[in-house]
Chain A
Amino acid sequence: MSSVADDLHHDEHHDHKPAGIMRWLLTTNHKDIGTLYLWFAFIMFLVGGAMAMVIRAELFQPGLQIVEPNFFNQMTTVHGLIMVFGAVMPAFTGLANWMVPLMIGAPDMALPRMNNWSFWILPGAFLILLASLFLEGGGPNFGWTFYAPLSTTYSNDSTALFVFSVHIMGISSIMGAINVIVTIFNMRAPGMTWMKMPMFVWTWLITAFLLIAVMPVLAGAVTMVLTDKYFGTSFFDAAGGGDPVLFQHIFWFFGHPEVYIMILPAFGIISHIVPTFSRKKLFGYSSMVYATASIALLSFIVWAHHMFTTGMPLFAEMFFMFATMLISVPTGVKVFNWVATMWRGSISYEMPMMFALAFIVLFTIGGFSGLMLAITPVDFQYHDTYFVVAHFHYVLVTGAVFSIMAAVYYWLPKWCGKMYDQTLAQWHFWCSLISVNLLFFPMHFVGLAGMPRRIPDYALQFADFNKWISIGGFAFGLSQLIFLALIIKASRKIGEPATAQVWDGAEGLEWEVPSPAPYHTFETPPEVK
């Protein structure tokens, strides 16, 4: 633990940074680490996206054309794992690293050396996962939810690598979460009381608590899969007195809070952008905080709504149905608050706001389908169809990913000191918006019409929609290359110089430091009124 103490003074004495790769390998600076996380997340987003392209190419028309079913299953599995653990979660951690110290007036994260570690073990985890695809027999092919016994008795030997890599991802997330919590608790500038904290900080604090509560449960689940497969235990094997459904209970006890881990920080981001571009204070700040906390608490008692078809008794089905429906109340409060913030504001449409508006509408559509899925008797029809795929992609792509893009546009001038390229931004937004809906909206239709998820080939009545879905998919994938070009341009310091405040409606400590933000900020804590 003494290293923690050393860390605190580390940067104060070494103002110059080492050159080249060593700067990035050894850095303990929250801005460097935030940048590393964000680039890593973006690379993983492209890798996971490439896998989605393989999936959509295979599903472009009925019949098997491009890949074998076994490889198709590996693609769906690894696409899910990479997007969840490699893209969305690290992107949010990157944003937290960059912005939380700036927003609370702290010089750095509380535990800079641990911060370095928590990032640098991540690429290792994903190299292991990706390498497993090249083994004989291929990588994990049991879906990102790795239901036993498909992942135990009936899986191939890449499972050991899969378990190892999930363990490392979990450790990384937990270290990141501990860092965020300690930073927020101990390093706030004088005068920044709990109820003066920016929403992004609040949502991340709650997210971090969710992370340390459920990532260890995931670690437990993968450990049980490992021992069931290799060491003769029978947690999930009926022959030895176990129960395969138990796996699903443990997995979803992690899995449902995980869903909120991926959306709560998004709520925080949107709660900054909407007021900035409406030039009006966030409506209902305290109800936003309470709503976030109650969503987090409710997320622990709704897990079995993923398992209605496993054969639960009536009372359990009722309980999980009602509890799940309840979540829409605090979520609704958030959406209403955003709209009320815009109401009688003075709204302008810069790119962060465009993405935030798209987020509000499309995330709400995902929320509606979520409410429909909560109704147990109807869920029997929706469960494991493309309707579910449409639902969670609306929540995660047009929800979480759009919020991350909004955040990048919002803070990029602060990071790089230059405005992003307006033309590229317009192209990126409109191409993404149109293609993402072409990609995911028709999935509702094929799902309702009866197309199960995770199939490499489908009956003929689904053919027309799948063609359009695939076209939407390719277009959405290509649109992200525009985003890549835009970010490269800004990070090479090409563009209009940005002012310290950047946006005329922006409020908060992060806008009081110059743009680009200097390597060291708030070495003397600011005073918060």
Chain B
Amino acid sequence: MTEQSQSNNRMVIKLVAIVIGMFGFGFALVPLYDVFCDITGINGKTNPYAATYDVNTDVDTSREITVEFITRNQSGMPWDFEARTHRIKVHPGELKTVEFYVRNPTGRDIIGQAIPSVSPGTAALYLNKTECFCFEQQPLKAGAEALMPMQFYVDPQLPEDIKVFTLSYTLYDVTGTSTVAMNRG
């Protein structure tokens, strides 16, 4: 081996390492994006885990925030799905519970998953859910119905310019891919 070809080989190895690294980086963008969204709220996803409510939270009675609820079904999801409360006014820091009604009108057992989305996206950072049906997949037997609660409070740090925000739930049929056992419902 000449000196030239050795140094060529060393360089090729380095460059291939960059290529492999960048291929990995492409995939790393997926969790990075999630982290970035968690910090900035850019895509309006809410936290998928329950927040804990501190009973000593100061309720900011000087402000009133309007929260709107929208329910939607993805194509192929036959459940009836609606918010019992379409719009609610809350003070930041105040704990509130709203209910969502679901019914499975079909003759088969179905597992649903609700995906939340908040607009404006920044508000998602200040919406804390202590209890939500969207944290888990929801099994519903043929013909069964249920009331699903969602308990939340709005962080008093919510920027002043946000006075209204909308929380939408899109319900998906995940029966085929779900790991949840049907008998839990």
A–B interface present (Cβ within 8 A): yes
The 8 Å CB contact of A239, one of B13, B74, B120, is B74
In the complex, chain A residues whose CB is within 8 Å of the CB of B120: 313
The 8 Å CB contact of B42, one of A2, A181, A253, A313, is A313
Proximity bits, B12-53, A CB within 8 Å = 1, else 0: 110110111111011101100100010011111100100000
Q: Which of A170-198 contact B (CB under 8 A)?
A: 174, 178, 181-182, 185-187
Residue ID in chain A nearest B41 by CB atoms: A313
A138 at the interface (CB under 8 A from B): no
Proximity bits, B94-138, A CB within 8 Å = 1, else 0: 000000000000000000010101011110000000000000000
B4 at the interface (CB under 8 A from A): yes
A240 at the interface (CB under 8 A from B): yes
Tell me how far the C-beta of B184 lies from the nearest C-beta in chain A, rounded to whole angstroms: 20
Tell me how far the C-beta of A46 lies from the nearest C-beta in chain B, rounded to whole angstroms: 31
- Residue contact B16 to A238, C-beta cutoff 8 Å: no
**CA–CA, A216 and B20, complex, Å:** 7
Stretch at the interface among B61-69, B84-92, B145-153, B170-178: B170-178
- Residue contact A249 to B29, C-beta cutoff 8 Å: yes
**CA–CA, A235 and B12, complex, Å:** 32
In the complex, chain B residues whose CB is within 8 Å of the CB of A212: 15, 18-19, 22
Tell me how far the C-beta of B27 lies from the nearest C-beta in chain A, rounded to whole angstroms: 5
* Size class of the B contact interface (CB-based, 8 Å): 35 or more
- Residue contact B25 to A217, C-beta cutoff 8 Å: yes
In the complex, chain B residues whose CB is within 8 Å of the CB of A181: 11, 15
* Size class of the A contact interface (CB-based, 8 Å): 35 or more
A384 at the interface (CB under 8 A from B): no
**CA–CA, A4 and B12, complex, Å:** 10
Known: A238-B115, A239-B74, A311-B121. A111 touches B12 (CB 8 A): yes
B183 at the interface (CB under 8 A from A): no
**CA–CA, A219 and B21, complex, Å:** 12
In the complex, chain B residues whose CB is within 8 Å of the CB of A157: none
- Residue contact B8 to A182, C-beta cutoff 8 Å: yes
Known: A212-B22, A239-B113. A110 touches B42 (CB 8 A): no
In the complex, chain B residues whose CB is within 8 Å of the CB of A214: 22
In the complex, chain B residues whose CB is within 8 Å of the CB of A241: 48, 115
Known: A5-B1, A313-B121, A316-B42. A250 touches B29 (CB 8 A): yes
B56 at the interface (CB under 8 A from A): no
A221 at the interface (CB under 8 A from B): yes
In the complex, chain B residues whose CB is within 8 Å of the CB of A111: 8, 12
B5 at the interface (CB under 8 A from A): yes
A213 at the interface (CB under 8 A from B): yes
In the complex, chain A residues whose CB is within 8 Å of the CB of B29: 217, 220, 246, 249-250, 253
- Residue contact A245 to B8, C-beta cutoff 8 Å: no
- Residue contact B113 to A220, C-beta cutoff 8 Å: no
Proximity bits, A220-247, B CB within 8 Å = 1, else 0: 1100100000001001001111010110
Residue ID in chain A nearest B115 by CB atoms: A238
Tell me how far the C-beta of A188 lies from the nearest C-beta in chain B, rounded to whole angstroms: 12
- Residue contact A213 to B22, C-beta cutoff 8 Å: yes
B157 at the interface (CB under 8 A from A): no
Tell me how far the C-beta of B33 lies from the nearest C-beta in chain A, rounded to whole angstroms: 5
In the complex, chain B residues whose CB is within 8 Å of the CB of A249: 29, 33
- Residue contact A216 to B19, C-beta cutoff 8 Å: yes
Known: A217-B23, A221-B26, A313-B120. A246 touches B33 (CB 8 A): yes
Tell me how far the C-beta of A11 lies from the nearest C-beta in chain B, rounded to whole angstroms: 14
In the complex, chain A residues whose CB is within 8 Å of the CB of B2: 5, 8
Proximity bits, A97-123, B CB within 8 Å = 1, else 0: 000000000000011000000000000
A-B contact pairs, 8 of them (CB 8 A): A1-B13, A4-B9, A5-B1, A182-B11, A187-B4, A238-B117, A240-B174, A246-B29
Sorted nearest first, the 10 A-B pairs with minimum C-beta distance are A220-B26, A216-B23, A239-B172, A216-B22, A5-B5, A217-B26, A178-B15, A5-B1, A182-B11, A1-B9
